[in-house]
Structure 1
């Protein structure tokens, strides 16, 4: 998927993560993480983000996360939502396969 514009998903509520994604032409994947648990879980969060971006075939993006204690599944869901918005991809969230 190609990141065409900036977008955001998630909140700053406890247990959630706010993810902002934007184009990063020629810059590959750049991840910025703000989290109270960065020392303990920062590398695991970054690994999750990179795995999800690879699954979505995103090769160039700037990703900024403000983590408020989100579980792995929440990070994946918020990232997928932000990337779909950035790419202008319509996604049917009511279907397990996304309506693809």
Structure 2
């Protein structure tokens, strides 16, 4: 999936996350989390897996996490990427 626009999904409420996506020449992922010490590796793994399943190869992804569950992180990344893309969506892949 190709990222062509800036977009965001989510909130900064407790147990949620904001995911910002913008075009970039390479794939760059930044994670800032209130639970970084405990779950930073898991957050990065969920974000990377979600981007891989959507076939995202380039773009800047910034995740501001406030203790979101994996399913919430996945949904926020998917929503932000879909909003930023000009590709036809393969709904069965979700």
Do these two structures clear the TM 0.5 threshold for a shared fold by scoring above it?
A: yes
**Residues paired across the two proteins, number:** 93
Partner of residue 75, structure 2:
77
Q: What residue number does 2:54 align with? A: 56
Structure 1 runs of 4+ off > 3 angstroms? 88-91
| Mapped partners of 2:17, 2:62: distance in 1 | 10
Query: Is 1:6 matched with 2:6?
Result: yes
3-state DSSP of counterpart to 1:20: strand
CA deviations on 1:62-86 (whole Å, 9 max, x unpaired) are: 1111101100000000100000000
RMSD over aligned Cα atoms: 1.9
Q: Which residue of 2 is the match for residue 44 of structure 1? A: 42
Normalising by structure 2, report the TM-score: 0.89
Q: Are the aligned partners of 1:49 and 1:76 in contact in 2 as well (CA < 8 Å)?
A: yes
The 3-state SS of whatever aligns with 2:3 is coil
Unaligned runs of 5+ in 2: none
